Amino acid sequence: MSAAIIDGKAFAARVRAQVAGHVARLAAGGLVPGLAVVLVGDDPASAVYVRNKGIQTKEAGMASFEHRLPAETSEAELLGLIAALNADPAVHGILVQLPLPKHLDPDLVINAIDPAKDVDGFHISNVGLLGTGQKAMVPCTPLGCLMLLRDRHGSLAGMEAVVIGRSNIVGKPMAQLLLGDSCTVTIAHSRTRNLPEVCRRADILVAAVGRPEMVKGDWIRPGATVIDVGINRVPGEGGTSRIVGDVDFASAAAVAGAITPVPGGVGPMTIACLLANTLTACCRANGLPEPEGLTP
């Protein structure tokens, strides 16, 4: 193995510590940033995410408001809760955990959140602001990837970046952020021809596909930086299961210059950036200077 391992776990701990330091200073002046997380239904994976978010929010010194609603919650009830959270001055960030039960329209629900409190960065206004290079709330996972890349490379200007995946939550905002940092960006997807060849031109390769170990070492340009966003559960030994990324780590690490592991790479950055976004939202809402290094 030749690649440097990008330690997202350690980096995320530093981001969380930075956030906690700012929160402590705000709290000393009587301002406590607050994050409301709304979970509808009983999807077990979502319940774990929401619990972890609550724990880390409190650890950062912020107020955590959890709203767990039954799966049969109506659209009107959910929109009513969002309206109340929009109006609540103690709430600076609102996150509705996805996926929602089938009878609820996620676009309608997300677009009901006050864009200034949309710490997931999924509201159409924030998507538009990011796309036009204006100050936005930025989706947490791509923001975390950008932080890791800037930490490794400093300036990304002029680099060839290939993003595999064009979802609204990872692929597209990732591409926008890389473009904002003056990379030459290619977005690949399931209809892309000659994907290995496209990937081989990347100085920066971001895989956000959801297919276990799809990206092989011979798809990677020697020395490239590989950011593996994928979280895939696959069968392990003796009836257990394990988590792997979208990149075949062993073969990729033999070629890449640097690579994020799974677990311990991008994953921990996502919640750290959620906390960062909540702090940013709180500062903006109160006309305070934004902490440095936590926004694009």
Catalytic residues: 53, 97, 120
Q: Between 230 and 291, name the residue whose CB sits nearer to ligand NDP.
A: 230
What minimum distance in Å lies between the beta carbon of 261 and ligand NDP?
12
The residue written with tokens 């979502």 in the block is 46
Number of residues that make up the chain: 296
211 binds ligand NDP (CB under 6 A): yes
Indicate the helix (H) or strand (E) that contains 160.
strand 160-164
Binds ligand NDP (CB under 6 A): choice among 23, 170, 247, 259: 170
Of 215-244, binders to ligand NDP (CB under 6 A) are 229-232
164 binds ligand NDP (CB under 6 A): yes
Q: Between 210 and 284, name the residue whose CB sits nearer to ligand NDP.
A: 210
d(CA 208, CA 141): 10
d(CA 9, CA 115): 29
102 binds ligand NDP (CB under 6 A): no
Segment interacting with ligand NDP, rule: CB under 6 A, options 33-41, 52-60, 160-168, 198-206: 160-168
6 binds ligand NDP (CB under 6 A): no
100 binds ligand NDP (CB under 6 A): no
Q: What are phi and psi of 68, to 5 degrees?
A: -105, 115
Binds ligand NDP (CB under 6 A): choice among 64, 141, 186, 280: 141
261 binds ligand NDP (CB under 6 A): no
* CA triple 263-265-270, angle to 5 deg: 100
CA atoms within 13 A on the CB side of 182: 5
What minimum distance in Å lies between the beta carbon of 26 and ligand NDP?
26
d(CA 221, CA 160): 11
Q: Radius of gyration over alpha carbons of the chain, in Å?
A: 19
270 binds ligand NDP (CB under 6 A): yes
| Residue 153 burial class via C-beta count within 10 angstroms: exposed 0-12, middle 13-18, buried 19 and up | middle
Q: Measuring CA to CA, which residue among 120, 119, 148 is closest to residue 269?
A: 148
Q: Between 150 and 284, name the residue whose CB sits nearer to ligand NDP.
A: 150
d(CA 120, CA 97): 10
Cα–Cα distance list, 238 to 133, 241, 262 (Å):
50, 9, 21
Q: Which residue is nearest to ligand NDP (CB)?
A: 167
Binds ligand NDP (CB under 6 A): choice among 41, 61, 142, 165: 165
**Site size for ligand NDP (CB under 6 A):** 25
Judged by the rule CB under 6 A, the positions of this chain that interact with ligand NDP are 141, 164-167, 169-171, 188-192, 195, 208-211, 229-232, 266-267, 270
